């Protein structure tokens, strides 16, 4: 390896919008980030996964692959094998609809243990196998090789302490809310409440720096996303400043920013961005005539399956993920017919920008994806070079395309596909469409529009994310002490980061 510092911190600032980072730096609110940007490589357009929501993106960040491989398809999704919704916490009210206990169990345990594919190792697992000292603060994805028992002596709520009894496999040092703590740091997470989570991450990370406990640290600073949902993306100038304070605190534990940077490489990144929300779609209501399965609260025993459309037998599951949504056919035999019905209705709903589905061949293998716009018509596409016009996207992948390029505002110049309004559109849509756990129909909302969740909550007047559109898909990425790959991608993606981390420690970035 070159002269890069031996240790590496990967800091994820949830939803950090490039324009807001730049403004925070201009106003002097983010001196540490300013130092990293000026001394490193700043990428203002690192593209998220689609749906551009935290569970999907977090899984891509730690595994370096899309959901066609890692299999976390959304914030809310329908588990076909268990015939139930999985809800990772769209809102407190949404969690209540499915049962708080179930939501917490799915988010804290099942996401890593059961939902994240066993075939896609995380950076923690890869580095643990190579005896690198790994560490993580509270992050949705923590799967590693070291066993951690839940804390017995903290003030968890009654429901939480009754649930959080099981050990997990995580990085060598794991700090996860007040549930798991591999060291007695004296830091408290305040039950992981929004607004105080950054402080907990900063506190435990400073402790780890002081006691030299890691070579690789995933430092998660999630509060920016919460502020931005509430106050809109403009509110990020304040919350990025707060995140910067925690970075300073961690660096001061090494004696200051310069001292820290002489011993640590640093990657700071967003998982996705955020865009303002001014209107909502109640997809559950819009599709009611097809028979929508309602949330099933496992704690309540009712004689019949509770449907959202009480007079109609449930035939579809509706899964809002903020500015994206998925619809599943409940019966395999009705899949194609139901898909056609959902597509027809969805294309007529005000505020839906794109409707996507997968066409399969006679052997049920994916044949081509379709991205349909109510205004511009259908774009059909498939990876590789068979049939239609062959184009190369900015990441160097070739696609055959046919139909309305206008659906993703794309142009083709000299065989090169450009779609800046929908960055990395074909690869992201293909990954989502061919993901085993995705729905039959995927939806992306128009700018300004959000799907209400199952608790009927949205972020009107604030910000949100989830769509295929550039406005919430492009996050900030800063590399300091980590050389970019050669050749450097013309379009960076969050799935490029795990290979950078592995390569920093001398491991093969490609699996």
Note the residues at the interface with Zn ion (CB under 5 A). Answer: 225
Nearest distance from C-beta of residue 465 to Zn ion, angstroms: 6
Nearest distance from C-beta of residue 225 to Zn ion, angstroms: 4
Nearer of residues 178 and 225 to Zn ion, judged by Cβ? 225
Nearest distance from C-beta of residue 281 to Zn ion, angstroms: 17
Element (H, E) at 262: helix 257-263
Task: Give the list of residues 6+ apart from residue 463 with CB closer than 8 angstroms, or none.
Answer: 15, 228, 229, 231, 232, 233, 235, 274, 275, 276, 277
Nearest distance from C-beta of residue 241 to Zn ion, angstroms: 19
Q: What is the 3-state secondary structure (H, E, C) of 163-189?
A: HCCCCEEECCEEEECCCEECCCCCCCC
Nearest distance from C-beta of residue 474 to Zn ion, angstroms: 15
Let me know: does 378 contact 403? Beta carbons within 8 Å: yes
Nearer of residues 128 and 271 to Zn ion, judged by Cβ? 271
Nearer of residues 15 and 37 to Zn ion, judged by Cβ? 15
Q: Is 47 exposed, middle or buried (0-12, 13-18, 19+ CB in 10 A)?
A: buried
Nearest distance from C-beta of residue 54 to Zn ion, angstroms: 6
Nearer of residues 114 and 279 to Zn ion, judged by Cβ? 279
Element (H, E) at 200: helix 197-210
408: its two tokens: 């993703």
Nearer of residues 246 and 274 to Zn ion, judged by Cβ? 274
Task: Give the list of residues 6+ apart from residue 246 with CB closer than 8 angstroms, or none.
Answer: 198, 199, 201, 202, 205, 221
Question: Which residue(s) pair with 46 in the sheet?
Answer: 475
In 3D space, the residue among 328, 323, 283 whose CA is nearest the CA of residue 78 turns out to be 328
Nearer of residues 48 and 327 to Zn ion, judged by Cβ? 48
Let me know: does 364 contact 436? Beta carbons within 8 Å: no
Nearer of residues 48 and 127 to Zn ion, judged by Cβ? 48
Nearer of residues 69 and 225 to Zn ion, judged by Cβ? 225
55: its two tokens: 């569970």
Nearest distance from C-beta of residue 229 to Zn ion, angstroms: 6
In the complex, which residue's CB is closest to Zn ion? 225
Task: Give the list of residues 6+ apart from residue 49 with CB closer than 8 angstroms, or none.
Answer: 56, 57, 60, 66, 67, 272, 428, 431, 432, 494, 495
Nearest distance from C-beta of residue 276 to Zn ion, angstroms: 13
């Amino acid at each position: 390896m070159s002269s890069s510092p031996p240790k590496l911190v990967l800091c994820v600032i949830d939803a950090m919008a490039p324009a807001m980072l730049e403004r925070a730096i201009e106003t002097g609110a983010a001196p540490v980030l300013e130092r990293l940007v000026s001394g490193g490589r700043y990428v203002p357009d690192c593209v998220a996964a689609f749906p551009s929501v935290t569970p999907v993106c977090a899984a891509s960040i730690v595994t370096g692959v899309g959901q066609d491989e890692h299999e976390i398809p959304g914030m809310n999704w329908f588990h076909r094998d268990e015939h139930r919704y999985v809800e990772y916490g769209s809102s407190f009210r949404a969690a209540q609809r499915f049962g708080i206990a179930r939501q917490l169990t799915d988010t804290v345990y099942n996401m890593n243990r059961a939902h994240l594919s066993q075939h896609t190792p995380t950076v923690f697992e890869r580095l643990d196998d190579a005896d690198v000292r790994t560490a993580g603060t509270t992050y949705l994805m923590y799967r590693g090789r070291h066993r951690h028992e839940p804390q017995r002596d903290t003030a968890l709520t009654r429901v939480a302490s009754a649930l959080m009894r099981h050990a997990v496999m995580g990085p060598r040092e794991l700090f996860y809310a007040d549930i798991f703590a591999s060291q007695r740091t004296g830091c408290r997470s305040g039950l992981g409440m929004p607004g105080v989570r950054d402080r907990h991450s900063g506190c435990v990370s400073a402790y780890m720096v002081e006691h030299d406990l890691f070579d690789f640290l995933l430092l998660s600073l999630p509060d920016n996303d919460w502020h931005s949902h509430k106050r809109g993306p403009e509110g990020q100038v304040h919350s990025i400043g707060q995140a910067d304070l925690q970075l300073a605190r961690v660096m001061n534990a090494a004696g200051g920013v310069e001292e820290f940077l002489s011993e640590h490489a640093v990657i700071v990144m967003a998982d996705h961005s955020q865009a303002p929300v001014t209107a909502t779609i109640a997809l559950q209501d819009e599709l009611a005539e097809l028979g929508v399965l309602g949330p099933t609260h496992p704690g309540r025993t009712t004689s019949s399956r509770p449907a959202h459309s009480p007079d109609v037998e449930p035939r579809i599951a509706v899964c809002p993920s903020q500015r994206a949504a998925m619809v599943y056919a409940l019966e395999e035999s009705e899949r194609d017919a139901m898909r056609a019905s959902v597509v027809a209705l969805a294309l007529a709903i005000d505020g839906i920008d794109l409707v996507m589905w997968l066409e399969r061949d006679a052997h049920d293998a994916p044949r081509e994806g379709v991205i349909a716009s109510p205004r511009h018509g259908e774009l059909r596409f498939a990876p590789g070079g068979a049939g239609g016009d062959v184009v190369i996207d900015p990441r160097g992948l070739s696609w055959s395309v046919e139909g309305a390029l206008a659906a993703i505002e794309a142009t083709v110049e000299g065989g090169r596909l450009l779609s800046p309004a929908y960055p990395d559109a074909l690869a992201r849509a293909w990954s989502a469409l061919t993901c085993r756990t995705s729905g039959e129909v995927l939806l992306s909302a128009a700018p300004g529009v959000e799907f209400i969740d199952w608790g009927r909550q949205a972020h009107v007047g604030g910000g949100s994310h989830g769509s295929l559109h550039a406005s919430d898909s492009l996050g900030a990425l800063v590399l300091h002490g980590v050389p970019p790959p050669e050749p450097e991608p013309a379009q960076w993606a969050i799935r490029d980061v795990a290979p950078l981390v592995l390569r920093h420690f001398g491991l093969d970035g490609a699996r």
